[in-house]
Amino acid sequence: MMLKIGLTAILVVTSLSTNAARGKDVSPSIRNIVGACSIPAVLDARTNVWEDHILYPTSDYRNEVEQAVKAIDDAQLREKAAKVANVGTFMWIKTVDDIANLATEASAVPCDNILGLVLDILPYKESKTRSLELDNRTLAQYQTPFIDSIAEIIRSSINTSFAVIVEPRAFPGYFNDTSAGDDLPKSYRENVPYALKALNLPNVVTYIDVGNSNSMDWDLQRDVAAKEILNTFEAAGSPSQFRGFATNVANYNAWDLLPGEFVPADDSRYTRPQNEQQFVRILSDALQKNGLPSRATHGIMDTSRNGVPGLRWTWDDWCNVNGAGFGPRPTSQTRDESLDAFVWVAHPGESDGSSDPSAPGYDAACGKEDAFRPSPAAGQWHQAYFEMLVQNADPTL
Ligand SMILES: *[C@@H]1O[C@H](CO)[C@@H](O)[C@H](O)[C@H]1NC(C)=O
Ligand SMILES: *[C@@H]1O[C@H](CO)[C@@H](O)[C@H](O)[C@H]1NC(C)=O
Ligand SMILES: *[C@@H]1O[C@H](CO)[C@@H](O)[C@H](O)[C@H]1NC(C)=O
């Protein structure tokens, strides 16, 4: 292992200096291609694969950060911000167009990196915000254009390791949002097992998104939820590469803060675990008790924006929380058996939603007192917010 890493490093340095000597522009993409893995990737999902793989810095986020850095005047802040370009984030598949970049992205990933992929395309996921494109698709149309195409690319990218998060917001949505009607449960129960089965490949580990500690009444529902996850797992043919669940995706919850952010105040209808660590332990335990094999009961947690706790007025405030900072960088050093890794799933610096009440699709959470205002539309680059995240990062950049 040491020898392999050493050789890779030497190869990179040699090629870089050769390119530099020839006076070529050494762009990040050239560095990546030089470092790309050339041995088949095989992940053992009985182990924590994050112990010898670090999350790959995806090019779309890296490009956003590189642009953002150029727009910063303060030299000290600029130097800190520049470091963010090298932090790994997940690649999001939200439309068919996003699949087009997957093969290229995968071809640049070094052996000791893992390419994170979020499937965010499940039909009927969000009754309130679902797009017309998704709305009118039948269940079968998820499977062929999305899942089969993605599986095909992953199968051909044999030298690349992947970690896939399946459908943020979907799981708690169908438990606890009755406005979704029967469509979401039907869509989930047909499509998620299909995805887990199709992506059960040697170079992949899969996690299903379960929302976060605040998504449902875990006291009342932990066994119902665990059984549903077990059913999903079995309907997928008990896939060997299934590792567990993803939590806190694009959210702001603290990992192990005690007392929790909202204790003793009870801001909610539900009894909730005080922090993500308690939640992860509760869920992992419930999964084991309900019959999931223990290797399939581990979590990964999004820590991209949870550096500063205690900012929100209520636990439900999810939009561009004001005062936020980057949280722990991706690592397997979680000091908790139940959690494989802290990862950055969201692309911090992209807005959660517009703060302008007259904007299309305006969500009131984005105009609250504890939200950063003004903020642009969801997904748009939010320079002031990004600079705030850099400034308030904990650990510091
Ligand atoms: C994987 O690496 C081998 C070299 O060992 C190379 O021949 C092959 O083209 C690579 N495959 C892909 C898809 O990159
Ligand atoms: C989706 O279906 C609705 C009614 O079923 C229709 O009014 C609408 O135009 C369709 N949208 C698209 C993008 O096809
Ligand atoms: C959410 O789950 C709780 C506990 O099972 C239940 O009491 C509540 O009615 C659910 N809410 C919705 C909107 O379904």
Mutation pick for ligand 3 pocket among 174, 217, 223, 270 (CB with most ligand atoms within 8 Å): 217
Cα–ligand 3 centroid distance for 37 (angstroms):
47
What confidence score (pLDDT) does residue 271 get?
65
What confidence score (pLDDT) does residue 6 get?
34
358 ligand 1 Cβ < 6 A: no
Predicted TM-score (pTM) of this structure: 0.86
158 ligand 1 Cβ < 6 A: yes
Q: Which atom of ligand 3 is nearest to the CA of 178?
A: 14
Residues contacting 37, CB < 8 A, separation 6+: 109, 110, 111, 113, 159, 160, 161
Cα–ligand 3 centroid distance for 333 (angstroms):
35
CATH 3.10.20.30 fits 41-391, yes or no: no
Weakest mean pLDDT among 97-111, 124-138, 140-154, 214-228: 124-138
Q: DSSP string covering 23-61, please?
A: T----HHHHHHHH---S-----TTS-GGGS-EE---HHH
185 ligand 3 Cβ < 6 A: no
pLDDT surpasses 60 at 15: no
Q: How far apart are alpha carbons 235 and 173 in whole angstroms?
A: 20
Domain boundaries, the chain: 1-34, 41-391
Q: How far apart are alpha carbons 57 and 69 in whole angstroms?
A: 16
179 ligand 3 Cβ < 6 A: no
Tens of pLDDT, residues 191-244: 999 999 999 999 999 999 999 998 877 778 889 899 999 999 999 999 999 999
Q: How far apart are alpha carbons 275 and 253 in whole angstroms?
A: 7
* Cβ–Cβ < 8 Å for 193, 235: yes
Q: What is the mean pLDDT of residues 175-198?
A: 81
Residue type, 232: T
Cα-Cα-Cα-Cα torsion 209, 362, 347, 315, nearest 10 degrees, comes to -60
What confidence score (pLDDT) does residue 21 get?
33
